[in-house]
Amino acid sequence: MVFHSPVQIIAKAGGAGKAKVGLAPWNMLLRGFMAGAYIAIGGALATTCYTGVAATLGVGMAKLILGSVFPVGLIIIVLTGAELFTGDAMLAPMAAFVHKVSWGSVLNLWLWVYIGNLIGSIVYAYIMAYGPFTSWNVAGVASVNAFGMSAVAIASGKCSYIGGAALWSCFLKAIGCNWLVNLAILLGICADDAIGKFFGVWFPIMAFVSSGFEHCVANMYFIPAGIFTAPFLSADQVATIGPKLANLGWVNMWTNNLVVVTIGNIVGGMLFVGVLYYVAFKKEIEALE
């Protein structure tokens, strides 16, 4: 396996960011759509695989299983060149630091990729809600299965950050999340072969999901999947999920989660990875130029 030195990794990250900000808006949107769907694939798989685990193996093992399968989304993104907003929160600013691209071009990339991620995530959420999370009888009436129940419970919890203390907690979880996500991106860059990239990405993503952190693009899937599935719940299932279900909705998705998580993800990626690594290796990077 070819392993790049830290300064080479930072330089390659800046180069990747420069290429990304140079894409046409339609291409940013298209690649963002793909990445949103790929993250949703990981989220859907994680929801399915961890359902029922806590009751038999304990909450910790359930979290570990959740985290162990979720990284498939970012692995696909890294290996196929899709555009993920949370990765671009570090890579695009790195391009501004290293290659002096404009901050206007950084914001342009963020905007189109974010929209693309949102559309891709919602499309896949609809597929899961009306597909694997529900069962349909001959009369066209749906019932929610155990996996759909997990999806609604996850979404309801993510819409329940209410009040200053809860939102601060959400913000800190978002910082921790994208700190780890962008370390995964750097570890993916450090290797040239597929196996090296796979393991470089897998460990930090497993850590962020198992730790319970918040990722804005993942939540673009998790919350809509719950919103789409919730109308088919029976009265007993509604009672099982409890009062948090009342917080689940399109407006609360933004006010109670996505706005704060997006800001926290930018801080975690740009500041805690991009800025820190650029400052740490600035002299070495300048020597390469």
pLDDT at 2: 67
Per-residue pLDDT of the chain (289 residues; tens, 9 = 90+): 567 888 999 999 999 999 999 999 999 999 999 999 999 999 999 999 999 999 999 999 999 999 999 999 999 999 999 999 999 999 999 999 988 899 999 999 999 999 999 999 999 999 999 999 999 999 999 999 999 999 999 999 999 999 999 999 999 999 999 999 999 999 999 988 899 999 999 999 999 999 999 999 999 999 999 999 999 999 999 999 999 999 999 999 999 999 999 999 999 999 999 999 999 999 888 777 6
Decide if 283 is inside a domain: yes
Would the pTM count as exceeding 0.75? yes
Decide if 221 is inside a domain: yes
pLDDT at 285: 84
Decide if 36 is inside a domain: yes
The CB density around residue 164, as the number of other CB atoms within 10 Å, is: 7
Instruction: Give the C-alpha separation, 73 to 94, whole Å.
Output: 23
Q: Is 3 left (phi over 0), alpha (psi -120 to 50) or beta?
A: beta
Instruction: Give the C-alpha separation, 201 to 71, whole Å.
Output: 7
Number of folded domains in the chain? 1
Decide if 132 is inside a domain: yes
pLDDT at 73: 97
Decide if 1 is inside a domain: no
Decide if 141 is inside a domain: yes
Distances (CA, A) of 47 to 72, 169, 188, 203: 13, 23, 25, 19
CA-nearest of 106, 100, 115 to 88 is: 106
CATH number at residue 38: 1.20.1080.10
pLDDT at 99: 85
pLDDT at 1: 56
Domain of 58 in residue numbering reads as 6-288
Contact between residue 274 and residue 103 where contact means Cβ atoms under 8 Å apart: no
Q: Is 58 left (phi over 0), alpha (psi -120 to 50) or beta?
A: left
Strands 142-144 and 134-136, sheet pairing:
antiparallel
pLDDT tens for each residue of 174-209: 999 999 999 999 999 998 889 999 999 999 999 999
Sequence length of the chain is 289
